[in-house]
Amino acid sequence: MEADVVRAPAAAAERPLVVVSNRLPFRAVRSGDRLVMTRSPGGLVSALEPVLSRRGGVWVGWAGAPREDTEAAGMVLPTSERVRYQHVLLSGHEIAQFYGSFSNRTLWPLFHYFVGRTRIDAASWRVYEAVNQRFAHVAAAQAPPNALMWVHDYQLLRVPYYLRRFARGSPLAFFLHIPFPAADVFRVLPWSRSLLRGLLSCDLVGFHVPAYVQNFLTCAQRLLGCEVDRTAGVVRFEGRDVTAAAHPISIDVGLIERLAASAVPQPGPRGQDRIAEVLGVDRLDYTKGIHERLLAVERLLERWPGYRGRVRFTQVLVPSRERVAEYSELKRQIDEIVGRVNGRFSEEGWIPVRYLVRALPPEELVPLYRGADIALVTPLRDGMNLVAKEYVAAQLENDGVLILSEMAGAADELQEALVVNPFDVEAVADTLDRALSMSAEERRARMSALRDRVRERDVHAWVERFLASAEVAVERARSSAASPADEARRRLAHWLGQRPTVALFLDYDGTLTSIAPRPEEARLGEEPRRVLEEAARTPNLDTVIVSGRALEDVRAMVGVPGLTYVGDHGFTIEGPGISFRHEAVDRYRAALERAAADLEDLGVPGAWVERKGATLSYHVRGVAERERERALRLADTVVRRRRLRATTGAMVVEGRPPVEWHKGSAVLHVLVHRHGTDWPARVRALYLGDDTTDEDAFEALHGIGRSIVVAPERPAATAADLHLPDPDAVLQLLRWLASGAFARSGA
C-alpha cells in the first residue's frame, strides 16, 4: 500500500534529524597532494539539506576515499551553522569488501533478481557487518538528543540493528532505494534473516512501491515467523510494531523545469517533417536493459523500413565499474550492437544510433530530455527510475511519449506511460511504432497527466511526507475483512478525490443487472434506478451507461434522464450536450442485415438473432449446452464472411462494422468531447463492465483511468484494475459514488 498523507505532531516536526547514508553529499577528489571536497549532484541532496538546515542535525557517511588517503591528505569536511557532516573512515580493504563485494556483487544483483550473478561470500559479509556497526556507532555518537535517525539504502541494512542498541529510545526510519525482492529470492542469501532483523529494528521502513512492501511483509512472516497485518502494513517484531509503507521517491521538478525552459527547443512541431528523437539515459549496468533496448531499435528499423532516415535513437551511457570484468563485457556487447545497427542502416546524412559514453551534467542532459519525442526507459529491474520522471518534467509542451518498463518502480506511478516488458524485444519495437504514430491528442492527454503527478509529488514533498510518516508510524490493524465493495472503495477513494470530477462509465447487462436468458428480461431494479437518479443529480459525477444494446433499448431499460447513453458498442451516443452516430453505421447497414438473415438460416434450436441497427448479436444461451460451442463457431464464420467484425462474448457472438471503433473508443470520445483533450488533468475516469467487449474500454483507460471487472472470479486475462463479484457489489459501490463522498477522499 502507498503511505497515507499524514501530519507529524508539531513538536516532532522540529525534532533534529540524523541522515545516515553510504555517501556524504560531498565527494573527495584528489588535487595534487590534497583531497578537495566537491558537492555531489542529485535531487535527494537538494531536498534533504534544507530540512537538515531547518531542523538542525548531522549527515553521516563516507566521503568516497579510503582512510589511508584521507589521513595522509588531511581531508577537511565542509561546515554549516545548522548541519554537521561526519565522515565514516573506511580502509581500502573495507571498501573493496563492504562496498565493492557484498553491497554491489551480492545485494545489488540479488535484490534486482539476478540470482545467477549473486556472489555468496562469508568474508565480505563479515566486513559488511563490521562496517554497518561502525556507521551506527558514529551516528549514535554524533546524534543530538531526541533526533530522528534516517538510514538510507542497501549498503546499510544492518545499521538500524545497532542503532537500536547504541541510541536507545531514538526513533528510527529506513528507506530502501532499490527493489525489495520476493521471499524465494531473498532467502537465497544465507544472511537474509540478519538483514531482516536490521530493518525490523526501525519504526518505519519505506519502499518505493507497494509490491516491495508486500515482499518485505512476506519475508518477515516466512523467514522470521512474525505476525503480519498486511492491510495496515504492520509487522509485530520483538514487542514493537514496525510499519512498512510505500513512499515513491521523486525528483527536483523545479530544477528540471528551469533547465528545460532555458533549452532551445527543436524547430517545428513534433511529427511533422523532422527526425523523431528517441532517448535512452542509463548508467552502465546489466539491470538497465540497454542491450535489449538496442535490439528493439534494430527490430523497429527491420520491420518498418519507413522509419529509416526519420528516427534517431540517442543512448547516453554513463560509465560505471568499467574495471569489473562483467561490466567491461557488457560495454563491449553494447558497443558491438551500436556498431552493427549503424552499419546496417546508416544513410547519407543520417545514422540511426547516436552513442554518447560520458556523464552529462544536468545543463546538458535536460535539453536532451526536452528535445526527445520519446523516452525509452526499459530497465530489466529498477527500484524506481528517476530518468522517467526527469523526462516527464522536461516535457513543457506536454507532447512527448514515455515508454516505460513494467519492471521499474516508476511504472506504478506513471501509469499513463506506454508500459512494456523489456525482455520482449518484439513488443518494445511494436510500442516504439505506436509511440511514433501516436496522435497529438493522446500524447498530450497522457503527458499532461504524467506531468501533473510528477510535479505534485516532487522530491521535496517526498521528504516531508516520509518524515511525517516516520513520526506517526503506529499500528493501523483492522479487525475484520472488508467487503469487495468496501475494498474497491478503499483502493479508489484517494485516487478519485484527487480530481474535482469523476466520469463513471457503467455497462448494463451483467454489471447493473444480472444476465438474463433474454435481453428484455434484464430489468433494472427499483433500487439501482433510484441510485442512478441520485447519481444524475450529483454535480461532480458524470454518469454514462455503456452497452452493446441498441441506444433506444438501453435508454428505455434504464429510464433515468440526465445520463449519457452509449449504445451499439459505442457506435451511437446521446446525452446532455453530446450526440454521435458513427458514419460506419449507415455504410454497413446492408451487410449487417444480410448477416442477420444468414444467422437465422442456420436454424440452431434455441439460438436467436438480435438486430440493433448499428450492430447485431447472436445469442446461444438457449442452445443445448453440448451444442453451444459449435453454434458460436458457426456464427463467427457467418459474421466474418459478411466482412464484419466478430466478437465472442458470454454465450453471444457480436457482429459490428469492421472499423477501429468500440466501447473504449466511445469512452474516450465522451471524455474528450465533454472535458477536453487534457481531461486527465481534471477528471478521474472509472469504468465498470463484465464482458469481453468491455475489455476494449479497460484497455483504452489503462494508465489514464481505472476499471473494474464484474465477475464471480477475477478473469485471468482481464485488463481491469479491480474486481467486483456481482451487480449487488456494484450497487454498493454506486451508492458511495452517488453520494459524492469520493470528492472528500483526496485530502
Residue identified by cell 506513471 is 414
Torsion of CA 216, 222, 228, 232, to 10 degrees: 30
3-class secondary-structure state, position 708: strand
Given strand 608-611, what is the order of strands in its sheet? Answer: 608-611, 616-619, 652-656, 645-649
Residue 371: CA count within 13 A, CB half-sphere: 17
What nine digits make up the cell of 11?
A: 513538536
| Catalytic member of 153, 285, 458, 507 | 507
Would you call 304 exposed, middle or buried from its count of C-beta atoms within 10 A (0-12, 13-18, 19+)? middle
3-class secondary-structure state, position 611: strand
Closest of 119, 126, 35 to residue 324, by C-alpha:
119
Q: Which residues of 387-412 are buried (b: 16+ CB within 10 A; e: fewer)?
A: bbbbbbbbbeebbbbbbbbebbbbbb
Whether the Cβ atoms of residue 228 and residue 192 lie closer than 8 Å to each other: no
d(CA 151, CA 202): 9
d(CA 417, CA 447): 8
d(CA 242, CA 199): 9
Whether the Cβ atoms of residue 649 and residue 509 lie closer than 8 Å to each other: no
Whether the Cβ atoms of residue 120 and residue 190 lie closer than 8 Å to each other: yes
d(CA 707, CA 527): 23
Is 507 annotated in the active site? yes
Quickly list DSSP for 46-81. Answer: HHHHHHHHHH-EEEEEE-SS-HHHHHHHT------S
d(CA 207, CA 384): 10
Residue 457: phi, psi to the nearest 5? -120, 55
Residue identified by cell 590534497 is 34
Closest of 120, 31, 106 to residue 76, by C-alpha:
31
Catalytic residues: 507
